[in-house]
């Protein structure tokens, strides 16, 4: 066989979708007889699933590709994913790279490698990602995690936010057939996974590319919830406009759903949102939050915020800070705006100095810590259910950590191995700012 005794090391950069696709490639390689080894010197083939979301991500992608070739100059270095789509000429010209695998071609990794072994010359295995309507069908049957599984349901984005390169790297929205999603969920349930996380590049757009225009994200949720063995279903990031009355009515009927909603905010100021080309305003955003809380009293609402977007004034920053306080998130991811060449925002006037971004970021991080603590405080002296994921040894005692449906991290002491079990617990105190202590409720 061509691949006999070939050792392959994979390295993933970027988002959960990239991580999912990396695991699919690893699975295919294993099934084809390749030996998977750590990303260290000694591999015959190095596959780097690249990211391009920022200029820094591009640089990290190049660094990892060059590092791979340095670790073994005789190795085959494969550049896969988003970086290859946005800077293709540079990638193809890079002497450290032997194979280029674009988005929508990762599922063909075995055939691409076989082709390379036959020709022994650089291969560009990519398509024009911005002119395809085909969803790259992948099925993941085994994961490194043992409790939570990610299922990719769509690819691409049609939003074209002014700071974002992803529509150019991932192409237009392409949705996966529900029947294929169900098959993968059934396989994962059969392997013991209790929680499914629905992921994609822009999952709120699911179904807009279908002819019937009637199938949407909520149909995916309902289909997965029906599968025996799946006890939790969690949504990835969604836009405020996904949260409609009909959506909430239907999702609230699914007992498996996790009331944890990640709504991308990016800015709490309407003038900044307009410059970002976001498709909502703060009034619509807070209406979505109120709608969620009308169905789930203690819902976890998390978000992303970009500080220092071009032209952001001190007044606009303060408006964002005030809006964030009014919403009361359970957690936030704070990002300093990073110039991404090829986007409209990169050429906008009044770029904010790095020193000001750092100060504004620090302010929002402090606000985030305060909101996190206020949200977690609600769980003290209450009873909840936790899916336990990992064992930790602390002071020679065995502890297990896991998450509630709202994604609050809980730790209990236990002599029994409770990994991948859902247990009812009494929450007693804080362990630290991020983890709560609890005791298992023994039901007799």
pLDDT of residue 444: 44
- pLDDT tens, position by position, 234-261: 999 999 999 999 999 999 999 999 999 9
pLDDT of residue 213: 79
253 and 276 co-located in one domain: yes
Residue 187 vs residue 119, higher pLDDT: 187
> How many CB atoms within 10 Å of residue 256?
19
Of 78, 96, 127, the last residue of a domain is 127
251 and 399 co-located in one domain: no
Task: Place 141 in a pLDDT band, splitting at 50, 70 and 90.
Answer: low
Domain that holds residue 285: 148-374
- pLDDT tens, position by position, 158-204: 999 999 999 999 999 999 999 999 999 999 999 999 999 999 999 99
**What integer is the mean pLDDT of 249-275?**
98
pLDDT of residue 132: 77
159 and 112 co-located in one domain: no
Q: Say yes or no to pLDDT of 1 above 50.
A: no
183 and 262 co-located in one domain: yes
- pLDDT tens, position by position, 339-395: 999 999 999 999 999 999 999 999 999 999 999 999 999 999 999 999 999 999 988
- pLDDT tens, position by position, 103-116: 999 999 999 999 99
121 and 159 co-located in one domain: no
327 and 397 co-located in one domain: no
114 and 173 co-located in one domain: no
Q: Say yes or no to pLDDT of 419 above 60.
A: yes
The CATH number covering residue 212 comes to 3.80.30.20
Residue 409 vs residue 147, higher pLDDT: 409
119 and 180 co-located in one domain: no
Pick the range with the lowest mean pLDDT from 86-100, 279-293, 322-336. Answer: 86-100
Residue 133 in any domain: the answer is: no
228 and 207 co-located in one domain: yes
Residue 428 in any domain: the answer is: yes
Of 316, 350, 374, the last residue of a domain is 374
**What integer is the mean pLDDT of 44-63?**
94
Residue 315 in any domain: the answer is: yes
Residue 266 in any domain: the answer is: yes
For the chain, give the mean pLDDT.
94
Residue 291 in any domain: the answer is: yes
369 and 418 co-located in one domain: no
Quick one: tokens of 181? 């999603």
Of 57, 92, 127, the last residue of a domain is 127
- pLDDT tens, position by position, 21-32: 999 999 999 999
225 and 329 co-located in one domain: yes
Residue 259 in any domain: the answer is: yes
Task: Place 412 in a pLDDT band, splitting at 50, 70 and 90.
Answer: very high
Task: Place 129 in a pLDDT band, splitting at 50, 70 and 90.
Answer: low
The CATH number covering residue 39 comes to 3.40.50.12160
Residue 276 in any domain: the answer is: yes
pLDDT of residue 400: 97
Q: Say yes or no to pLDDT of 140 above 90.
A: no
365 and 398 co-located in one domain: no
Query: Rounded CA gap, 361 and 15, in Å?
Result: 21
Residue 1 in any domain: the answer is: no
Give the chain's domain count.
3
């Amino acid at each position: 066989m061509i691949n006999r005794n070939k050792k392959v090391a994979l390295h993933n950069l970027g988002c959960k979708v990239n991580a999912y696709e990396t695991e699919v490639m690893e699975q295919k390689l294993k099934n084809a007889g390749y030996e998977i080894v750590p990303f260290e010197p000694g591999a015959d083939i190095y596959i780097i699933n690249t990211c391009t979301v920022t200029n820094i991500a591009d640089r990290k992608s190049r660094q990892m590709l060059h590092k791979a070739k340095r670790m073994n100059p005789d190795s085959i270095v494969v550049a896969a994913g988003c970086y290859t789509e946005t800077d293709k000429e540079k990638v193809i010209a890079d002497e450290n790279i032997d194979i280029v695998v674009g988005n929508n071609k990762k599922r063909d990794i075995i055939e691409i490698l076989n082709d390379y072994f036959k020709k022994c010359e650089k291969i560009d295995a990519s398509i024009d990602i911005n002119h395809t309507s085909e969803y790259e069908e992948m099925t993941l049957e085994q994961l490194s995690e043992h409790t939570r599984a990610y299922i990719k349901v769509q690819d691409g984005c049609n939003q074209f936010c002014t700071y974002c390169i992803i529509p150019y790297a991932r192409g237009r929205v392409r949705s996966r057939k529900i029947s294929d999603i169900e098959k993968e969920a059934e396989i994962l349930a059969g392997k013991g996974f209790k929680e499914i996380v629905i992921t994609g590049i822009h999952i709120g757009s699911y179904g807009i590319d279908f002819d019937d225009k009637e199938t949407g994200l909520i149909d995916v949720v309902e289909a997965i919830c029906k599968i025996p063995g799946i006890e939790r279903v969690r949504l990835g990031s969604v836009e405020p406009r996904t949260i409609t009355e009909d959506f909430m009515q239907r999702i609230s009927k699914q007992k498996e759903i996790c009331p944890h909603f990640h709504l991308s905010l990016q800015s709490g100021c309407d003038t900044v949102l307009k410059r970002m080309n976001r498709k909502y305003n703060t009034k619509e955003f807070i209406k979505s939050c109120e709608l969620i809380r009308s169905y789930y009293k203690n819902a976890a609402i998390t978000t992303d915020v970009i500080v220092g977007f071009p032209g952001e004034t001190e007044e606009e920053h303060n408006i964002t800070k005030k809006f964030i306080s009014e919403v009361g998130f359970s957690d936030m991811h704070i990002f300093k705006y990073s110039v991404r060449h090829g986007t409209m925002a990169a050429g906008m006037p009044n770029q904010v100095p790095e020193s000001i971004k750092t100060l504004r970021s620090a302010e929002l991080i402090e606000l985030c810590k305060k909101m996190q603590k206020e949200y977690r405080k609600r769980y003290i002296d209450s009873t909840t259910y936790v899916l336990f994921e990992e064992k930790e040894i602390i002071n020679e005692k065995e502890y297990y950590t896991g998450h509630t449906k709202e994604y609050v991290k809980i730790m209990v002491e236990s002599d029994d191995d409770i990994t991948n079990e859902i247990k009812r617990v009494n929450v007693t105190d804080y362990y630290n700012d991020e983890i709560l202590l609890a005791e298992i409720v023994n039901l007799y």
